[in-house]
Amino acid sequence: MRVRKYITRFLTLALVLAGCNESLEDTYDEYTDGGRIRYVGKCYDAKVVPGWKSLTVNWTRAIDETAKNIKVVCSLNDTKDTVLLEPNVVSFKKDQLIDGTYRFDISVIDNSGNESLVEEVYGRPYTENHEIVLSFTNVITKSWPIGSKNALLCRLDRWNENIVSAQLKYIKASTGEPDTVVLKKEYFTSGKLYQLEDVSLKNTDTVYILRRGFLENCPDTVDFNPISVNKNRMFTTDFLQVIHDKFGISYEKDEEKFNEFIDTVEELEFDYDMTSFEDILHCPNLRKIILGKNRYVVETKDLPAPKSVLEEVDKSVEILMKAHEFKGVTIERYAKHYFADSVKMNFMEEKGLPVLPALTYVQKSEIDSITCSVSLTDSEKATFNFLLDDDPSTYWKTTNVGTLRSYEVIIHLKDEMDIRGVKVAQPKYTWWDGETPKFMTSYFQVKTSIDQVDWYDVSYVENNEIGKGSEECVLIYLPENATRRAKYVKVILNDQADQGAFRLMLGDIVVFK
């Protein structure tokens, strides 16, 4: 019964098909304009490899016996170039490119002129403006011309495996002829300064750095454009700050005046933490360096005097050695600042602890009062007048009120007088006192006035630095050791924070004339 049913259905379908006037193939041909659609095998997995001012496109092509050409269209902005390649080619290189992001459209053309679907990729060549090229080492990070020796002292960058070679091209001082020297790998890895001898330092003669190397994912060995060794003096932030604080000369505001000072200065003083002493080599007439003279510290058996810190000790020692060799520079060091005892320089004289100069202090009888801008608690009032006794063993202590406070302490003189500066001292503390040093300030402002309307800084800077040694003091002089008429002296300080506590402890404020 079931077999009979299947036979009946088959016969019915056969009769229907026989009755049709058109075949399925005819219908298909009519639908596709009389022919079947045939897609040309395309290129795929295209990738762009950046080279030096070039781009290489690689791809894989589907097998298609009718393929006649590979069509590559390279475009940048409104510029477009088209090239037809043999069908078996799977790579194309475009040279002499400028900086920019290029688009490549890759397709296959068959014998009938039909074009496959397009494979689209993008790439940017390495050029002088590429970020990776600009970040390639300049080889020399800093240099110092030594005119008296016809030498150029150079700090070399770290060696890396992308460097193939590095050379210096220069004019010889003795002959006026050009010459080239190869910078060997060991020069970089030694960490020492490199000294180029017999080099002309005339403004018309330039020292060029020639570099050859590799770039990331770049198949080419690149000869980078020569760069000139910078003849302009470059200064560290620390050094610029010292010159400004001590001499009132700003590199940013008056570069010409600053350079004139550098060319003529014979003696420099450094007192507080520094990164490096490398900039002293920029001073052709420098004869003496004085370290720590203005940090008036006290040292006991149980409590050594605090030391100013030098971050780049080895580099600085090498620079100081060269300064002594080239210019006969000597060092006077107070309180063993900056260098460990293991550092030996036979031109460095140890001076011991600095001694305060003889000063004429304003006496208490010449002071009308001392006031504070903050409403003081009873305990704070009890120690406030200790600021005038010139005795750091008795000192002002504030209490913790849970917020950071700023204090304007004003000394009211009975009469106007000519003053030369102000001494500020830290409290005296012992080695077991862990609290007092935490709440001692490192910076403060000092100003003077005649009418309490117009206030003027005592020194070249607004914020003056002081160390945190026991009984340590600093003298803030008026510029160029001058005097100034004043009736009011203001010292501005802030609370110091430690583990949620906000307090201030200060030894003395003493005006001298």
Fold of 364-512: Jelly Rolls (2.60.120)
Mean pLDDT to the nearest integer, 372-378: 94
Identify whether the C-beta of residue 153 lies closer than 8 Å to the C-beta of residue 193.
yes
Kindly state the tokens that stand for 267: 């003696």
Residue 38: per-residue pLDDT: 63
Whether 66 shows a pLDDT value over 50: the answer reads: yes
- Give the confidence band of 9 by pLDDT, cuts at 50, 70, 90: low
Quick one: which of 119, 80, 75 has its CA closest to 100? 75
Q: Compute the chain's Rg from CA coordinates.
A: 40
Eight-class DSSP state of 19: T
Fold of 136-228: Immunoglobulin-like (2.60.40)
Eight-class DSSP state of 302: S
CA angle at residue 10 from 7 to 16, to 5 degrees?
145
Residue 41: per-residue pLDDT: 85
**265-274 residue pLDDT tens:** 999 999 999 9
3-state secondary structure 415-451: EEEEECEEEEECCCCCCCCCCHHHHCCCEEEEEEECC
Residue 13: per-residue pLDDT: 46
237-272 in b/e form (b: 16+ CB < 10 A) is ebbbbbbbbbbebebeeeeeebeeebeebeebebbb
Domain ranges in the chain are 2-31, 43-123, 136-228, 237-350, 364-512
Q: What is the CATH number of domain 43-123?
A: 2.60.40.10
Quick one: which of 88, 94, 93 has its CA closest to 61? 88
- Give the confidence band of 14 by pLDDT, cuts at 50, 70, 90: very low
Angle between helices 255-264 and 237-247 (to 10 degrees): 90
**174-194 residue pLDDT tens:** 999 999 999 999 998 877 899
**396-411 residue pLDDT tens:** 999 998 899 999 999 9
Mean pLDDT to the nearest integer, 416-429: 97
Q: Same topology for domains 43-123 and 136-228, yes or no?
A: yes
Whether 17 shows a pLDDT value over 70: the answer reads: no
**255-265 residue pLDDT tens:** 999 999 999 99
- Give the confidence band of 33 by pLDDT, cuts at 50, 70, 90: low
Quick one: which of 294, 442, 308 has its CA closest to 355? 294
**276-318 residue pLDDT tens:** 999 999 999 999 999 999 999 999 888 999 999 999 999 999 9
Identify whether the C-beta of residue 271 lies closer than 8 Å to the C-beta of residue 293.
yes
Handedness of CA 78, 79, 84, 89 (dihedral sign): negative
Look-up: residue for tokens 């019915």? 12
Phi, psi of 465 (to 5 degrees): -100, 145
Mean pLDDT to the nearest integer, 437-464: 97
